Structure 1
Amino acid sequence: MPYTARVGPKVASALGRWAYNMAGFNQYGLYRDDCLAEYGDVREAVRRLPEKLKDERNYRFIRALHLSATHTVLPKEQWTKYEDDVKYLEPYLKEVRREREEKNKWETTM
């Protein structure tokens, strides 16, 4: 029987926090959802965002582009924290994927 390690919530959280910080996008004030490639379902989910969320997303992008162009990052106290990261795109993305799956199901039954 192969050995399978059990990872407790604290270990998984510590590993997730470490990976989050190593990715580096948080140093520019970006959220995890800001880093999703904008193709297909993600593009449609972004299109469906309310204007306020779109404006906030655009502001984060402009700030990150400016920081990147000047070869700087935000001061550490302004970095996006693992605990504060908001998956703002997830509900819209789930809806888009559910609709696409339903559409595919209807197309295959006809």
Structure 2
Amino acid sequence: MASSLSRWLVDPKKNPLAAIHKKTVSSRLRRYGLRYDDLYDPKYELDVKEALNRLPREIVDARNQRLKRAIDLSMKHEYLPEDLQVWIMLAYLRRDVYSRMYIYIDLFFYLFIFIYFLIFLFGVLRFVNLNSNSNSNLGFFLFFIFLGK
């Protein structure tokens, strides 16, 4: 009971106050060039450590570079320039949009191949049915399509 309540309190998808808090913290982190996900500590949570191990090396290196830059800016009592803040956030959004776009392109490609295969198969079946009086040729053509090389 208490764990489900605490999960609800901190989940930005379920609790509107947690969403406002996440937006506020994200805007403050953006001043240093960080993302909200950069706050997760791999030494504290083993799941985060495992997730970072599974990520590609360039993403982990970019995360480490963001953390180093944020520490440096914090020590100097400075913020990242506004144009870099906007550019960094656009780069994150562009990467997310492109990754989703590639997923949809793959799905449409496989759907197109499947539809093309069905049209081809029905064309072959129609050709076999028009040119023969028996169904013996149909089995041969289906065998040739699926198993023949």
Whether 1:32 and 2:36 are equivalent positions in the alignment is yes
For structure 2, which runs of at least 5 residues remain unmatched after alignment?
A: 1-15, 97-149
C-alpha distance in structure 1 between counterparts of 2:22 and 2:60, whole Å: 26
Determine which of 58, 70, 73 is the counterpart of 2:76. Answer: 70
Which structure features the higher share of helix residues?
A: 2
Give the residue type in structure 2 aligned to 1:33.
D
C-alpha distance in structure 2 between counterparts of 1:83 and 1:60, whole Å: 13
Deviation at 1:54, TM superposition (A): 1.1
- Secondary structure of 2:41's counterpart equals coil
Partner of 2:58: 52
Q: More relative contact order in 1 or in 2 (CA 8 Å, sep 6+)?
A: 1
Deviation at 1:17, TM superposition (A): 7.6
Deviation at 1:36, TM superposition (A): 1.8
C-alpha distance in structure 2 between counterparts of 1:55 and 1:35, whole Å: 15
C-alpha distance in structure 1 between counterparts of 2:52 and 2:84, whole Å: 25
Deviation at 1:77, TM superposition (A): 2.2
C-alpha distance in structure 1 between counterparts of 2:20 and 2:33, whole Å: 16
Within 5 A, what are the aligned runs for 1:1-110? 19-20=22-23, 22-23=24-25, 24-38=28-42, 39-79=45-85, 80-81=88-89, 84=92
Deviation at 1:19, TM superposition (A): 4.7
C-alpha distance in structure 2 between counterparts of 1:53 and 1:83, whole Å: 13
Kindly tell me the number of residue pairs found equivalent between the two proteins: 73
C-alpha distance in structure 1 between counterparts of 2:29 and 2:72, whole Å: 13
C-alpha distance in structure 2 between counterparts of 1:83 and 1:59, whole Å: 15
